[in-house]
Structure 1
Amino acid sequence: METFLLISLGAVLGANLRYWVGGWVAERLGAQFPFGTLMINLTGSLVLGFFLTLATQRFLIDPRLRVFFTIGFLGSYTTFSTYTYESVVLMTTGHWVMGSLNLLGSALLGGVAAGLGVWLGRLV
Structure 2
Amino acid sequence: MKILAIGIGGAFGAIARYLINISPLSNIFQKFPFPTFFINITGSFLIGFFLILLTDKFTVNENLRFAILVGFLGAFTTFSTFELEIFGLIREKYFVTAFVYLILSVLVGFVGVLGGVWLAKRI
Whether TM-score is above 0.5 comes out as yes
Counterparts of 1:109 and 1:116 in 2: how far apart (Å)? 10
Counterparts of 1:50 and 1:74 in 2: how far apart (Å)? 11
1:46 and 2:45 are equivalent in the alignment:
yes
Q: Do 1:83 and 1:102's aligned partners in 2 also have CA atoms closer than 8 Å?
A: no
Q: Which residue of 2 aligns with 1:120?
A: 119
CA RMSD of aligned residues (A): 1.1
1:80 and 2:55 are equivalent in the alignment:
no
Q: Percent identity?
A: 38
Deviation digits for residues 25-58 of structure 1 (CA, Å, limit 9, x no counterpart):
104x145210000000000001110000111221
Counterparts of 2:94 and 2:6 in 1: how far apart (Å)? 37
TM-score (norm 1): 0.94
Counterparts of 2:108 and 2:87 in 1: how far apart (Å)? 19
Q: Residue 3 of structure 1: CA displacement?
A: 1.3
Counterparts of 2:88 and 2:20 in 1: how far apart (Å)? 21
Structure 2: gaps (5+ residues): none
TM-score (norm 2): 0.94
Q: Residue 61 of structure 1: CA displacement?
A: 1.8
Q: Which residue of 1 aligns with 2:35?
A: 36
